[in-house]
Amino acid sequence: MNKNNVNKSVTMRDVADHVGVSVATVSRTLRNPEVVSPAVRDKIAAAIESLGYLPDPAARALASTRSDIIGVILPSVSNNVFADVMDGIYSAVEGTHHSVQLGYSRYAPLSEENLIRVFLRQRPAGLIVAGIDQTEAAQALLREAGCPVVQIMETGSNPYDRMIGFSHYDAARAATAHLIAQGYRRPGFLGARMDPRTQRRLHGFRDELRAHGIEEGKRIQTTTRPSSVTLGSHLLAQLMDLAPETDAIFCINDDLALGAMFEAQRRNLRIPDDLGICGFNDMEMMAAAEPSISSVRTFRREMGEGAVQLILDALSGSATQEKIVDLGFQIIQRRSTRGH
């Protein structure tokens, strides 16, 4: 029998008898394979494959008070930013006995709160959540979760347990400072969805302008609509109609930056001479665009990998005292802001 013909009536005792080991050894192999010799591991794996044994995660959870599931709650599954995070999460889980369950909150705090309740009822091995803006009820649940909790995509002063990410405020200030350093004196801002992380980027943009004595005027164009390339074109058109003196734009993501570039080209604006453009996240298309577009590089895959490792370290008892892992960011200059 193979794994395509799984027999749910096969028990752990059947696997143990087939190999000639105890049930405890089979259980230990499934839960903590690193403590079992490779030879025994291979025999048990072969028996599971041959017999078609399907471990019951619910039964294991009842026996151990914790399942093998790592719960992940993200605001979006279609956004490439979070796709990179998930790639890192699955890469780090591969080869362990853990599995991943994904919840999608659609940027709705109450939906996120409900998902947290659902995951915690499953007694997860760990929980990964995005950001620092949960509801009060969700915050209480996460602080008393009874399992490792890792916040990703952001850093803050008061993690529920562990945190890995970067400062959106600092990254926005650095991007704005880059535009000013390149000689732009009337930079604008394009923002979409305007969730809390985007609000922090806008705050950073404004504070950096003030630090240089630059008035923002009417050069901030935002919407609560979801981001897209088409929306970037639309927002730049609105901005240039309201504030034609704008000589550069900081976009809260690369979709908007690419759309803004298309609109600038339609208006016969020379990039970077008439208009500088800086995006955020440094997706692959930024380097491929013509002209290439400067952006804030964030380390999304590393956030996913790091979050899983923080959970695994906590479960193994090897966690460090460090609660906050700041991965930082990089300003990647390209031709759109007078790079080469």
Order of strands across the sheet that contains 220-222 = 220-222, 187-191, 248-251, 276-281, 294-297, 330-332
Helices then strands, each counted (H, E), the chain: 13, 12
Q: What is the pTM of this model?
A: 0.80
Which residues make Cβ contacts (< 8 Å) with residue 78, sequence separation at least 6? none
Residue 21 and residue 40 in contact, taking contact as beta carbons nearer than 8 Å: yes
Interval 271-297 mean pLDDT? 97
User: Whole-number mean pLDDT of the chain?
Assistant: 91
Kindly list the structural domains of the chain, giving each domain's residue range(s) and its CATH number in brackets, ordered by start.
12-55 (1.10.260.40), 67-166+300-327 (3.40.50.2300), 168-297 (3.40.50.2300)
Assign 200 a pLDDT band (cuts: 50, 70, 90): very high
Query: Token pair of 237, please?
Result: 């058109």
pLDDT tens, position by position, 229-265: 999 999 999 999 999 999 999 999 999 999 999 999 9
pLDDT tens, position by position, 5-46: 444 467 888 888 999 988 778 877 776 666 778 888 888 888
Rounded distance between C-alpha atoms, residue 89 and residue 83, angstroms: 10
